[in-house]
Chain A
Protein backbone atom coordinates (compact mmCIF):
# COMPACT_ATOMS: atom_id res chain seq x y z
CA UNK A 1 0.00 0.00 0.00
CA UNK A 2 1.60 3.24 -1.16
CA UNK A 3 0.55 6.81 -0.62
CA UNK A 4 -0.70 8.22 -3.89
CA UNK A 5 -1.68 11.71 -2.83
CA UNK A 6 -1.70 13.78 0.32
CA UNK A 7 -2.55 17.19 1.73
CA UNK A 8 -1.94 19.07 4.94
CA UNK A 9 -4.07 21.77 6.41
CA UNK A 10 -3.88 23.85 9.55
CA UNK A 11 -6.35 26.43 10.82
CA UNK A 12 -7.46 28.23 13.96
CA UNK A 13 -9.79 26.38 16.33
CA UNK A 14 -12.84 28.56 15.69
CA UNK A 15 -16.22 26.92 15.27
CA UNK A 16 -16.78 28.80 11.99
CA UNK A 17 -13.97 26.65 10.52
CA UNK A 18 -15.85 23.35 11.08
CA UNK A 19 -17.58 23.75 7.71
CA UNK A 20 -14.34 24.70 5.99
CA UNK A 21 -12.54 21.64 7.38
CA UNK A 22 -15.09 19.05 6.24
CA UNK A 23 -15.52 20.72 2.84
CA UNK A 24 -11.75 20.85 2.27
CA UNK A 25 -11.33 17.14 3.09
CA UNK A 26 -14.34 16.29 0.89
CA UNK A 27 -12.81 18.24 -2.01
CA UNK A 28 -9.52 16.37 -1.58
CA UNK A 29 -11.28 12.98 -1.58
CA UNK A 30 -13.20 13.82 -4.78
CA UNK A 31 -10.37 12.44 -6.94
CA UNK A 32 -11.45 8.94 -5.84
CA UNK A 33 -14.91 9.56 -7.28
CA UNK A 34 -16.77 8.61 -4.08
CA UNK A 35 -20.54 8.13 -3.95
CA UNK A 36 -22.67 10.82 -2.35
CA UNK A 37 -23.09 8.53 0.64
CA UNK A 38 -19.34 7.84 1.05
CA UNK A 39 -18.60 11.55 0.82
CA UNK A 40 -21.29 12.38 3.35
CA UNK A 41 -19.87 9.78 5.77
CA UNK A 42 -16.39 11.32 5.54
CA UNK A 43 -17.70 14.88 5.95
CA UNK A 44 -19.70 13.88 9.01
CA UNK A 45 -16.78 12.04 10.66
CA UNK A 46 -14.37 14.93 10.01
CA UNK A 47 -16.92 17.38 11.37
CA UNK A 48 -17.20 15.33 14.59
CA UNK A 49 -13.43 15.12 15.05
CA UNK A 50 -12.84 18.83 14.38
CA UNK A 51 -15.72 19.81 16.68
CA UNK A 52 -14.15 17.70 19.46
CA UNK A 53 -10.91 19.65 19.05
CA UNK A 54 -12.71 23.00 19.21
CA UNK A 55 -15.07 22.13 22.08
CA UNK A 56 -12.84 19.88 24.20
CA UNK A 57 -9.15 20.03 23.28
CA UNK A 58 -8.83 23.81 23.29
CA UNK A 59 -12.07 24.76 25.09
CA UNK A 60 -12.11 28.48 25.78
CA UNK A 61 -8.53 28.87 24.61
CA UNK A 62 -7.52 29.16 21.00
CA UNK A 63 -5.19 26.77 19.20
CA UNK A 64 -4.39 25.21 15.86
CA UNK A 65 -6.16 22.24 14.29
CA UNK A 66 -3.96 20.12 11.99
CA UNK A 67 -5.37 17.84 9.31
CA UNK A 68 -3.25 15.44 7.30
CA UNK A 69 -5.13 13.48 4.65
CA UNK A 70 -3.73 10.72 2.46
CA UNK A 71 -5.05 8.60 -0.38
CA UNK A 72 -3.45 5.20 -0.97
CA UNK A 73 -3.06 3.37 -4.27
CA UNK A 74 -5.65 0.88 -3.00
CA UNK A 75 -8.30 3.61 -2.75
CA UNK A 76 -8.11 4.07 0.97
CA UNK A 77 -8.50 7.47 2.61
CA UNK A 78 -6.56 8.13 5.82
CA UNK A 79 -7.33 11.34 7.69
CA UNK A 80 -5.47 12.46 10.79
CA UNK A 81 -6.94 15.27 12.91
CA UNK A 82 -4.42 16.49 15.44
CA UNK A 83 -4.34 19.14 18.18
CA UNK A 84 -1.97 20.35 20.85
CA UNK A 85 -4.74 20.78 23.40
CA UNK A 86 -5.52 19.34 26.82
CA UNK A 87 -5.56 15.67 25.81
CA UNK A 88 -8.09 13.04 26.86
CA UNK A 89 -7.77 11.61 30.37
CA UNK A 90 -9.61 8.37 29.62
CA UNK A 91 -9.89 7.52 25.92
CA UNK A 92 -12.13 4.40 26.21
CA UNK A 93 -14.59 6.36 28.36
CA UNK A 94 -14.54 9.35 25.96
CA UNK A 95 -15.45 6.96 23.15
CA UNK A 96 -18.48 5.52 24.94
CA UNK A 97 -21.74 6.60 23.31
CA UNK A 98 -23.57 9.32 25.27
CA UNK A 99 -20.54 10.14 27.42
CA UNK A 100 -19.82 13.86 27.26
CA UNK A 101 -18.17 16.59 29.28
CA UNK A 102 -19.46 19.18 26.84
CA UNK A 103 -22.57 20.46 28.58
CA UNK A 104 -26.25 19.83 28.03
CA UNK A 105 -26.43 20.47 24.30
CA UNK A 106 -23.70 18.00 23.37
CA UNK A 107 -25.08 14.56 22.51
CA UNK A 108 -21.96 12.57 23.41
CA UNK A 109 -22.12 10.81 20.07
CA UNK A 110 -19.03 12.15 18.30
CA UNK A 111 -16.91 9.00 18.43
CA UNK A 112 -19.95 6.75 17.87
CA UNK A 113 -20.67 8.62 14.63
CA UNK A 114 -17.01 8.41 13.55
CA UNK A 115 -16.94 4.67 14.25
CA UNK A 116 -20.20 4.05 12.46
CA UNK A 117 -19.35 6.12 9.37
CA UNK A 118 -15.69 5.15 8.91
CA UNK A 119 -14.01 1.73 8.60
CA UNK A 120 -11.48 2.41 11.30
CA UNK A 121 -11.04 5.03 14.05
CA UNK A 122 -8.02 5.23 16.32
CA UNK A 123 -7.17 7.74 19.02
CA UNK A 124 -3.81 8.60 20.51
CA UNK A 125 -3.83 11.10 23.33
CA UNK A 126 -1.54 12.43 25.98
CA UNK A 127 -2.81 14.66 28.75
CA UNK A 128 -1.45 18.19 28.43
CA UNK A 129 0.09 17.40 25.03
CA UNK A 130 -2.75 16.76 22.65
CA UNK A 131 -4.71 14.22 20.68
CA UNK A 132 -4.55 12.61 17.25
CA UNK A 133 -7.65 10.98 15.80
CA UNK A 134 -7.07 8.81 12.71
CA UNK A 135 -10.02 8.01 10.46
CA UNK A 136 -9.80 5.47 7.64
CA UNK A 137 -12.22 4.49 4.94
CA UNK A 138 -11.95 2.48 1.73
CA UNK A 139 -13.66 4.11 -1.21
CA UNK A 140 -15.22 1.40 -3.35
CA UNK A 141 -13.80 1.45 -6.85
CA UNK A 142 -16.29 1.12 -9.61
CA UNK A 143 -15.94 0.54 -13.32
CA UNK A 144 -16.51 3.39 -15.74
CA UNK A 145 -19.95 2.12 -16.67
CA UNK A 146 -21.21 2.05 -13.11
CA UNK A 147 -24.06 4.35 -12.39
CA UNK A 148 -23.32 7.06 -9.89
CA UNK A 149 -25.53 7.74 -6.93
Chain B
Protein backbone atom coordinates (compact mmCIF):
# COMPACT_ATOMS: atom_id res chain seq x y z
CA UNK B 1 0.00 0.00 0.00
CA UNK B 2 1.31 3.40 -0.99
CA UNK B 3 1.67 5.92 1.82
CA UNK B 4 0.27 9.34 0.98
CA UNK B 5 -0.24 12.33 3.20
CA UNK B 6 -2.17 15.49 2.52
CA UNK B 7 -2.58 18.82 4.20
CA UNK B 8 -4.49 21.85 2.99
CA UNK B 9 -2.54 22.47 -0.18
CA UNK B 10 -0.02 19.69 -0.56
CA UNK B 11 -0.10 16.01 -1.31
CA UNK B 12 3.04 14.04 -0.42
CA UNK B 13 3.63 10.53 -1.76
CA UNK B 14 6.23 8.39 0.05
CA UNK B 15 7.76 6.06 -2.53
CA UNK B 16 9.46 2.91 -1.28
CA UNK B 17 11.45 -0.12 -2.47
CA UNK B 18 12.33 -0.81 -6.08
CA UNK B 19 10.85 1.59 -8.64
CA UNK B 20 10.78 -0.39 -11.86
CA UNK B 21 8.23 -0.65 -14.67
CA UNK B 22 6.18 -3.20 -12.71
CA UNK B 23 5.96 -1.13 -9.54
CA UNK B 24 5.44 2.18 -11.38
CA UNK B 25 2.46 0.78 -13.32
CA UNK B 26 0.84 -0.11 -10.01
CA UNK B 27 1.37 3.13 -8.13
CA UNK B 28 0.80 5.56 -11.00
CA UNK B 29 -2.97 5.02 -10.92
CA UNK B 30 -3.13 5.42 -7.15
CA UNK B 31 -1.27 8.75 -7.27
CA UNK B 32 -3.34 10.07 -10.18
CA UNK B 33 -6.65 9.10 -8.55
CA UNK B 34 -5.75 10.87 -5.32
CA UNK B 35 -4.38 13.97 -7.09
CA UNK B 36 -7.51 14.27 -9.22
CA UNK B 37 -9.67 14.00 -6.14
CA UNK B 38 -7.74 16.49 -4.01
CA UNK B 39 -6.29 18.79 -6.66
CA UNK B 40 -3.31 19.85 -4.53
CA UNK B 41 -1.33 23.00 -5.33
CA UNK B 42 1.83 20.93 -4.85
CA UNK B 43 2.41 17.20 -5.38
CA UNK B 44 5.56 16.06 -3.61
CA UNK B 45 7.20 12.76 -4.53
CA UNK B 46 9.47 11.66 -1.68
CA UNK B 47 12.22 9.25 -2.81
CA UNK B 48 13.93 8.78 0.57
CA UNK B 49 13.05 5.06 0.89
CA UNK B 50 13.60 4.11 -2.76
CA UNK B 51 16.36 1.46 -2.92
CA UNK B 52 16.48 0.97 -6.69
CA UNK B 53 15.23 2.87 -9.71
CA UNK B 54 15.55 2.49 -13.47
CA UNK B 55 14.23 4.86 -16.14
CA UNK B 56 10.66 3.81 -15.29
CA UNK B 57 11.01 6.10 -12.26
CA UNK B 58 11.85 8.98 -14.60
CA UNK B 59 8.74 8.11 -16.62
CA UNK B 60 6.69 8.17 -13.44
CA UNK B 61 7.93 11.68 -12.62
CA UNK B 62 7.41 12.93 -16.20
CA UNK B 63 3.86 11.58 -16.27
CA UNK B 64 2.99 13.18 -12.91
CA UNK B 65 4.55 16.47 -14.08
CA UNK B 66 2.17 16.45 -17.05
CA UNK B 67 -0.77 15.51 -14.87
CA UNK B 68 -0.07 18.29 -12.36
CA UNK B 69 0.25 20.80 -15.21
CA UNK B 70 -3.21 19.75 -16.40
CA UNK B 71 -4.61 20.08 -12.89
CA UNK B 72 -3.03 23.53 -12.49
CA UNK B 73 -0.60 22.45 -9.74
CA UNK B 74 3.13 21.92 -9.33
CA UNK B 75 5.32 18.88 -8.87
CA UNK B 76 8.37 18.52 -6.67
CA UNK B 77 10.77 15.60 -6.28
CA UNK B 78 12.44 15.45 -2.85
CA UNK B 79 14.99 13.37 -0.90
CA UNK B 80 16.58 11.57 -3.84
CA UNK B 81 19.29 9.19 -2.54
CA UNK B 82 22.73 9.48 -4.14
CA UNK B 83 22.68 5.98 -5.65
CA UNK B 84 19.62 6.68 -7.79
CA UNK B 85 20.37 10.31 -8.63
CA UNK B 86 22.47 9.26 -11.65
CA UNK B 87 19.38 8.09 -13.53
CA UNK B 88 17.74 11.45 -12.83
CA UNK B 89 20.83 13.35 -13.98
CA UNK B 90 20.78 11.44 -17.27
CA UNK B 91 17.14 12.34 -17.84
CA UNK B 92 17.60 16.10 -17.82
CA UNK B 93 14.58 16.41 -15.50
CA UNK B 94 16.45 19.12 -13.58
CA UNK B 95 15.59 21.45 -16.43
CA UNK B 96 11.90 21.14 -15.59
CA UNK B 97 12.65 22.63 -12.18
CA UNK B 98 11.06 19.77 -10.25
CA UNK B 99 14.19 18.42 -8.54
- How many residues does chain A have at the interface if contact means C-beta atoms less than 8 Å apart? 25
A112 nearest CB neighbor, chain B only: B90
| A58 to B4 Cα, complex, angstroms | 34
Known: A47-B54, A107-B59. A113 touches B20 (CB 8 A): no
Q: Cβ of B90 and Cβ of A105 under 8 Å apart?
A: no
Cα of A36 to Cα of B81 in the assembled complex, Å: 14
State the majority secondary structure of interface residues on B. Answer: helix
| Cβ–Cβ contact B52 & A43, under 8 A | yes
- How many angstroms from the CA of A54 to the CA of B24 in the assembled complex? 14
A80-116 vs B, Cβ < 8 Å mask (1 yes, 0 no): 0000000000000000000000001111011011001
B18 at interface, CB cutoff 8 A: yes
From B20, which residue of chain A is reached at the shortest CB distance?
A18
Cross-interface CB contact of A48 among B25, B28, B55, cutoff 8 Å: B55
Q: How far is the CA of A31 from the CA of B43 in the complex (A)?
A: 43
Residues of A close to B52: CB separation below 8 A: 22, 40, 43-44, 47
Quick check: B83 and A37 within 8 Å, CB to CB? yes
Chain B proximity of A68: nearest CB distance (Å)? 21
Contact across chains for A113 and B90 when beta carbons are under 8 A apart: yes
User: With a CB–CB cut-off of 8 A, which chain A residues contact B91?
Assistant: 107, 109
Q: How large is the interface on B (under 10, 10 to 19, 20 to 34, 35 or more residues)?
A: 20 to 34
Question: Are B56 and A107 touching (Cβ within 8 A)?
Answer: yes
Interface residues of B in 4-59 (CB under 8 A from A): 18, 20-22, 24-25, 28, 52-56, 58-59
Tell me, in angstroms, the Cα distance from A113 to B55 when the chains sit together.
7
Please report the C-alpha to C-alpha distance between residue A19 and residue B17 in the assembled complex, in whole angstroms: 11
Q: Does B98 contact A (CB under 8 A)?
A: no
The 26 listed contacts between A and B (C-beta, < 8 Å) are: A19-B18, A36-B83, A40-B52, A40-B83, A51-B21, A51-B54, A54-B21, A104-B62, A104-B63, A104-B66, A105-B24, A105-B25, A105-B28, A105-B62, A106-B56, A107-B55, A109-B58, A109-B87, A109-B90, A109-B91, A110-B54, A110-B55, A112-B55, A116-B86, A116-B90, A117-B86
